[in-house]
Structures are given as C-alpha cells and as structure tokens.
Structure 1
C-alpha cells in the first residue's frame, strides 16, 4: 500500500485546511473537535477522490459537506441515545449505583464462599449474625449456646474472613457490618 502523498494533494490540504477547520469550529464551537472533523473530511476525500470532480469548488464542497454530514449524523446519534436513556430512565448516577451493586454482589459471593468453608457452628453464627441480622442474644437463644460462644465464633469467623478475603472486599464488608445492615 502506498502512503505517499502527492504534491497536488499536499497543496490541496494546505490551501483548504484552514477554511474547512474554521467552518467546523463555527459549527461546533470546539477547536479540538473541529480539527478531528477536518481531518475526517480530508480522509474521506482522499478515500473517495476518484469519485469527486477535480474542480477545486467541487472538492471544497465535498469537504464542507463531509464536515456538515458528520455533525448531523453525530447529532442524530446523540438524539437517539438521549431518547433511549430517557425511555429507560437510566442516568450516570444509576451507573454509579450499578457499579456499587456489582461490587456488592461480588463481595457477597466471596463472603458466602468463605463462610461455607467455616466449621458448622461458626458458619451458623456468622450467617445468623451477618446474613440474617440477629443480635448475639438472639443467636444464643436460636442455637442454644452461651453468649460467649456466640462472640467467640463471630471473632473466629471474622478473623478467617479478614485473612482470606480480598483486602478491598474486607474493608467493604467491615463497613457494611458497622452500618449493621443485613447482607441479604
């Protein structure tokens, strides 16, 4: 593939660039975007050169039309996207919430996997405490064990989670525990 640029193409670019770029800037108000549009217009012209008249006015018209059409197409795409987001009711704040839910879901899956590796009584205490939100006294009554046994199993379970849980997940897990929220 030959990437060399002919002298006539180089001169055309030099002679028309500032006009096309100014036109794009006036339409968009954004210099960087205008430059992108201008480069896209010239790229389109060079790719379709054989289909465009060699008349300088026709070439300039092609370049202006390329810029205008690209802006119109992007505007249409933006409007379609806006309509979609309006219909779905989704917004950027929802995106943050989706990220939080994803992290929370991953955390729960990892915590549950680790909790299922605990000895039976420790597992029961952890699940009753953190998954069902029962108090130490309620767990004691439910499992018919002493309050100190409940505390010991919670301490062992949390130590195991701290040792085996991804550090970022553990911090989130502790934050949830401190807010006294049930995990499920």
Structure 2
C-alpha cells in the first residue's frame, strides 16, 4: 500500500510501514523531473503541470496495483506522463484543426528516452544549484537556467558586473565539487 505517512492500510489489511511509500516524498522527488519531461514533449509548461498532476492522481488511484519498489513508481509515473502528454498533443491538434495537415503520429521512442534523460540530468543539476549559498544560487539560476547576461543580473540584483562574474565563477567551482564530471560538463555545455 502506498499512503501518506501514517494513513491507510497495507494490502493485507493491517497497518504497516515497511511497504509504504510516502506520497509527499514521491511527489518531491519526481515532480520537477516530470515537469521537465512533459514540457519537452508538449512545449507548454501549464499543460505539462496539468499532465503531471493528473499522473500523480492516477498513481494514487492505482497505487495498490503498482509494486512498492521506487523504480516501479518511477516507471509508472514516466509512462503515465508520456501517455497523457500524447493525449494532450492529439487534443491540441484537433482543437487547432491541423488534423488534415499533421497526421497524428507519436514521437519515436528515442526522443522520449532523450527527454527522460534530459529531465533527470537537469533535475540533478538543479538540486546541486539549490544547495549553493543564496547569492551563488540566485546568480546561477538567473545565468544558467534563465539565460540572462551578467549585466542583466547585475542590474536586477543591484551589484556590479564584476561581482556577478566573480560569484558566478565561485558557484561554478562549488558545482564542480558537487556534480560528477559528466554532469558538470553538461552544465557547461547547456549554459555556454
């Protein structure tokens, strides 16, 4: 049985914690990754959030039919998000009246696998950035993920461009220690 801590019963009808997976921890662990994944498939953050929310509702409704191992939960959530995203794409094509011009074809498996990998990698990088001291974190998020130039960041934060450059360099040094060499290389490739 999967339940929020302390609620519900296991499959045998008795209270038990050994097979429980805390819904909040599952949500916290996978929500951002699933959002990245869905956005890559449907290119709309609001619709991606709706898809991920629906995937968690479906997970909750069918949790008793899903193995209690983390990988089974992860596979279920990614598969559900993929199918729901395809449904959104189909619906969008119909609403936009492009059915005649664009046949309803699902993307090949490789782009889906690439999207999963990208969302997982970006989630790991994002977690590392979140662990940085506040100034480094803010500058890193604005520079690396929002794509802002040093001058823009300096103007927004009321500091000199040199301070932004120095703090960005220090953030990169800290991230180099926190991330594997592959993830750090991806961060550098993604941001430059």
Scaled to the shorter chain, the TM-score interval is 0.3 to 0.5
Using the size of structure 1 for normalisation, the TM-score is 0.45
Using the size of structure 2 for normalisation, the TM-score is 0.43
